[in-house]
């Protein structure tokens, strides 16, 4: 195993969204590619907003995607004593100080700075005071002055910030709890994280964190900031663009391999390749090939990939995955035809498991009504004759396979001077209720000849009533 150590560190204040899943995927791929260690850390220091339900949703999303972790999950809330210890170290070394400024005082100074055209950063009022007041205080990091803080981002290249623009960061609140930027540095250092891959909304946090690493004597990891994901209107991806939860995509009938394949291509490329198995992703992934520009989420592209994986998927696995989608429609497969056989007739044309489930309902529930517009295209006398002839010929035939049944329908057409649409469409409507269904031979094979004949005779009674 290599020395590379990466982490995915979500906050448990909601579900695992697609942006977080992509960040997790990039970390996971880098670790698997280089034989390193992928760590899962739950950043739950925001006690008021963090929930067990969110933790469970994050873990469920990770497990569904198959992003297995080597260490963890670790919880930041378990490390409060460790954070306090390092705050004390900085205070004792003079690299941090107590700040007694009230919120009102800070707000007034910020307003004045804005009016005078100055950067609204903390003005250092308490930086050099030596008295100890009996009043609430925060602990601020004494940020080095002058020069710049720079780092070589693995995606964006060299990034530099003038040190004078970085104010004295609060590292401990008045209630004694540590702040995000401080906790992250301690955790990454203690866990020996070598490479931090995260969203580029963290770019502005990085110089402050680098200063903290250096002040505490920790090695500074490499950084890679992944551009954000946008909606079709080029605004940051949000609920108004549609589902953003990984589990929501599962419930909408997407396969995990399709979503992974889509996410890996959302900002990363390997030539013109579009379809990658999990092993191919690992083999070909290079963090340096992640683009610097934001990516636009395209549902049509995801649907295309999902259709590919459904079409090429194992029917038995797809049948298992289809069961919850059928159950949500009140459909039981216990007394119906073999679900694997039904899946084989549907996977060629379905984009999602939800779509497949909708199209599979007729196999387990005979149509209670028929597509009237489709039936109206045929004369009632013709429909009655077709249904009578087809039911009789099917009942007397030994045909069982889809190919044999298709051949029988061709014979029926030849014997009666009909064209296939004149027989196929009416029969498809009788069997499924509509026209959007698999081939006639496939339907009859899955339903069984006896059930097919029963449905056709029911349709005959309907058109002759």
Which residues form the catalytic set?
239
Instruction: For strands 96-99 and 71-75, give the pairing.
Output: unpaired
Tokens linked to 236: 């940051």
d(CA 39, CA 272): 31
d(CA 131, CA 97): 11
Q: Is residue 23 within 8 Å of residue 8, measured between CB atoms?
A: yes
d(CA 223, CA 204): 12
d(CA 364, CA 44): 47
**By three-state DSSP, how is residue 372 classified?**
helix
DSSP secondary structure string, 4-17? Answer: -EEEE---SSS--B
Per-residue CA distances from 221 to 31, 170, 203, 210 (Å): 15, 22, 14, 9
**DSSP conformation class of 131:** -
Q: How far is CA 410 from the centre of its chain?
A: 47
d(CA 451, CA 196): 60
DSSP secondary structure string, 63-89? Answer: HHHT---SEEEEEGGGGHHHHHHHHHH
What's the chain's length in residues? 465
Measured at the CA of 57, the angle between CA 51 and CA 63, to 5 degrees, comes to: 140
Instruction: For strands 170-172 and 157-162, give the pairing.
Output: unpaired
Please provide residue 380's backbone torsions phi and psi, each rounded to the nearest 5 degrees: -60, -35
d(CA 205, CA 181): 7
């Amino acid at each position: 195993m290599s020395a590379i150590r990466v982490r995915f560190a979500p906050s448990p204040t909601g579900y695992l969204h697609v942006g977080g899943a992509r960040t997790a995927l990039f970390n996971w791929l880098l670790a698997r590619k280089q034989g390193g260690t992928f760590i899962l850390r739950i950043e739950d220091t925001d006690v008021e907003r963090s929930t067990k339900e969110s933790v469970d949703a994050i873990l469920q999303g990770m497990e569904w995607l198959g992003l297995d972790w080597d260490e963890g999950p670790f919880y930041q809330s378990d490390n409060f004593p460790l954070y306090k210890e390092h705050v004390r170290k900085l205070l004792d070394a003079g690299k941090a100080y107590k700040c007694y400024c009230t919120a009102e005082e800070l707000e007034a100074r910020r307003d004045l700075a804005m009016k005078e055209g100055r950067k609204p950063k903390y003005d250092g009022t308490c930086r050099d005071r030596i008295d100890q007041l009996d009043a609430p205080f925060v602990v601020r990091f004494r940020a080095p002055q002058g020069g710049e803080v720079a780092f070589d981002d693995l995606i964006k290249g060299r990034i530099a910030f003038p040190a004078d623009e970085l104010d004295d960061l609060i590292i401990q609140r008045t209630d004694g709890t540590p702040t995000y930027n401080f906790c992250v540095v301690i955790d990454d250092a203690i866990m020996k994280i070598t490479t931090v891959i995260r969203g580029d909304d963290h770019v502005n946090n990085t110089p402050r964190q680098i200063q903290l690493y250096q002040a505490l004597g920790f090695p500074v990891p490499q950084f890679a900031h992944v551009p954000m994901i946008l909606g079709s209107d080029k605004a940051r991806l949000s609920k108004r663009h549609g589902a953003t939860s990984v589990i929501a995509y599962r419930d909408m009938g997407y396969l995990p391999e399709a979503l992974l394949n889509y996410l890996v291509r959302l900002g990363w490329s390997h030539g013109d390749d579009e379809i990658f198995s999990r092993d191919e992703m690992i083999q070909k992934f290079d963090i340096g090939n992640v683009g610097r520009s934001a990516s636009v989420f395209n549902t049509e592209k995801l649907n295309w990939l999902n259709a590919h994986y459904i079409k090429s998927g194992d029917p038995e696995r797809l049948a298992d995955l289809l069961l919850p989608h059928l159950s949500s429609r009140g459909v039981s497969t216990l007394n119906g035809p073999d679900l694997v056989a039904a899946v084989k007739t549907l996977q060629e044309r379905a984009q999602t498991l939800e779509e497949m489930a909708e199209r599979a309902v007729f196999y387990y529930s005979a149509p209670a009504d028929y597509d009237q517009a489709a039936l109206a295209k045929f004369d009632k006398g013709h429909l009655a004759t077709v249904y009578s002839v087809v039911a009789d010929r099917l009942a007397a035939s030994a045909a069982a396979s889809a190919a044999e049944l298709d051949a029988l329908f061709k014979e029926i057409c030849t014997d009666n001077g009909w064209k296939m649409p004149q027989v196929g469409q009416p029969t498809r409507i009788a069997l499924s209720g509509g026209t959007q269904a698999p081939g006639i031979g496939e339907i009859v094979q899955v339903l069984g000849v006896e059930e097919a004949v029963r449905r056709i005779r029911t349709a005959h009674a309907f058109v002759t009533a």
